[in-house]
Amino acid sequence: MKAGLTPDMPYELLSYALREKAFPRQATFDQWFDHAQFDAYRALGHHLGTKAAEVPLAHAARCGVRRRGSGHPSQR
């Protein structure tokens, strides 16, 4: 799987991508990131991780599955 850019990503991340055309697929032979590059990859990972965590929750909501411990005690 490869990371990609989508319009719902934070502004700072998209603006970095406009400045650095190879982002997010820059070569990995140079592991010494400058501050801006490090922040961009950190923000990308955070955004992708957050979106990935939302998928099971959205799926459960569509299927009518409630989280354990949710709801009124009389409904358990």
Count Cβ atoms below 10 Å from residue 40 Cβ, excluding itself: 24
Phi, psi angles (nearest 5°) of residue 2: -120, 140
Mean of pLDDT values over 45-62: 81
* pLDDT tens digit sequence for 14-40: 999 999 998 988 887 877 889 999 999
The per-residue pLDDT for 56 is 78
d(CA 9, CA 47) in angstroms, rounded, equals: 7
pTM surpassing 0.85? no
Angle, helices 11-19/35-63, rounded to nearest 10 degrees? 130
